[in-house]
Structure 1
Amino acid sequence: MHAMQRLVVLLAVLSVATTASAQGPTAAPATPTPTPTPVAPAPVAGTTNITGVLAKAGQFNTFIRLLRSTGVAEQIDNQLSSSGNGLTVFAPTDNAFTSLPSGTLNSLSDQQKNALVQFHVLSTLIPMSQFDTVSNPLRTQAGNNSPGQYPLNVTAEGQQVNISTGVVNATVDNSLYSGDNLVVYQVNKVLLPAALFGSPAPAPAPLAPAKKKGKTPASVADAPDAADASPDATASHAAARVTGGGLAAVLALAGVWWGL
């Protein structure tokens, strides 16, 4: 009996083993594919930063320092984000500042430095192609554009753009940036306003022709009388004086003689 049970169990085990061998190894459960995390869109570029534009261009370190110290850089950035008119900035190079007389910037107060920087900023965007159609004088953010204050006059011929402040004449050397309601031009001189630096000294007047040297002719009143000036007349007057004197002496002697 026990032998029969063991035989049945053995046959059952063999049957299971044969079935498993026929089916192959049991496949491992499939690992679920992870759902990809959506990639966030790249942030939209913000408003152009004026100091960033100048720093990328290089050779504008002095102007960048002035923009920051006066607060004009922040003002420009705020205007770009809120105004639809756009801005035009004339940026002097470091060499342009170096060319100024020694101590020029140090002689200015904080308020004057602010006005100097504002003088390089226009409240409108002017592409290079439109400089020959603008109306002079241009109004800068420094304020009054009347003569002797903050006038800025631009003349253009093709790609040649000249700028006059009443104190200096500068040229636009290059367009550094254009876009995002901002255009930045490189200028070869610091734009000095007349309100801060005055007008250039006028050219000296031409000298009057030198007078010819010589004695001034004597007037007629000072000239000696013609008769008196004659040598003969002078001799006659002298003889008369002598003759008159001798006659008087003779008469005097005759009177004494008759008296005797």
Structure 2
Amino acid sequence: MINQLVRPFSLLLLFLLSLSITTQAQTPAQSPAPSGPPNITRILEKAGQFTVFLRLMGTTQVDNQINNQLNNSNNGMTIFAPSDSAFSSLQAGTLNALSDEQKDELIQFHVVPTFLSISQFQTVSNPLRTQAGDSRNGQFPLNVTTSGNQVNISTGIVNTTVDNTIFTDNQIAVYQVDKVLLPLSIFGPQTPTPAPAPEATKKKKAAVADAPSSDDTDSSGGVGLAVNVMVVVMSIGIGMYAAFVL
């Protein structure tokens, strides 16, 4: 009787044990949290959709600069990362027309050398100073306004918004923007070269007009030589006449 009761119980235990083992095998292991200091390249690669921005950061070596700053400074950093679709909306040939220096300035214009959370955008002073240069001279203005939790960005040429928070850890904040931030110094209207003053132009024309030409010089030289010859001939003639008379 006891054996009859034990056998079903043993089978039940074996079934539950095998079910537990199968369930554990099917449960995926959790990936370990990333270790070490933040790395902008790994952050954007993991997020995806930022291949053009990553390529420009690599060719200008801004990615290495950012990582070095993060490792050697306590100021933190804020990066506005345009997606691939943002770059595709630019006119064809826009990036190829830029010099190496302009490409570097373009990428640095997307980097603010302080950490800014979404809530801190409500109290920042405009224009923001970016790593492209000082904004006070009007070359690299970056102005931020907020409406609730929405952050609006203006460069004087482009108006866009922060679409998404890609990464933040109180040291670096990376935000996705739906347009490339175009600075005035590169993409704004170029100042034409000033025309010379009218008075200076008149003086230059007068100086050119008064200057003797090579033809005039040759002509005056020839006339002077002919006159001298005639004077000599006349002098000789007069001398011979006087000697004959006397």
What's the TM-score once normalised by structure 2's chain length? Answer: 0.62
Equivalents in 2 of 1:179, 1:146: separation in Å?
Answer: 30
Could you tell me which residue of structure 2 aligns to residue 92 of structure 1? 82
How does 1:116-155 map onto structure 2 within 5 Å?
Answer: 116-146=106-136, 148-155=138-145
Equivalents in 2 of 1:144, 1:131: separation in Å?
Answer: 19
Runs ≥4 residues deviating over 2 A:
none
How far residue 148 of structure 1 moved from its aligned partner, in angstroms, is 3.6
Question: AA paired with 1:160?
Answer: Q
Could you tell me which residue of structure 2 aligns to residue 4 of structure 1? none
Check the 8 A contact 2:83/2:177 in 1, yes or no. yes
Question: AA paired with 2:132?
Answer: A
Q: Which has the higher helix share?
A: 2
How does 1:1-260 map onto structure 2 within 5 Å?
Answer: 45-146=35-136, 148-179=138-169, 181-199=171-189
Check the 8 A contact 1:173/1:187 in 2, yes or no. yes
Equivalents in 1 of 2:70, 2:148: separation in Å?
Answer: 28
CA radius of gyration, larger in: 1
1:180–1:148 CA distance, 2 compared to 1 (3 A): closer
Question: AA paired with 1:144?
Answer: D
Corresponding residue SS for 2:136: coil
What's the TM-score once normalised by structure 1's chain length? Answer: 0.59
RMSD, matched Cα: 1.8
Check the 8 A contact 2:115/2:170 in 1, yes or no. no
1:54–1:95 CA distance, 2 compared to 1 (3 A): same
Check the 8 A contact 1:119/1:191 in 2, yes or no. yes
Check the 8 A contact 1:166/1:199 in 2, yes or no. no
Equivalents in 1 of 2:62, 2:72: separation in Å?
Answer: 15
Check the 8 A contact 2:109/2:130 in 1, yes or no. yes
Equivalents in 2 of 1:147, 1:186: separation in Å?
Answer: 27
| Aligned length in residues | 159
Check the 8 A contact 1:48/1:180 in 2, yes or no. no
Describe the superposition over 1:18-52 as per-residue Cα deviations: whole angstroms up to 9, x where unpaired.
xxxxxxxxxxxxxxxxxxxxxxxx9x921111011
Comparing 187-196 with 46-55, greater Cα deviation is found at 46-55
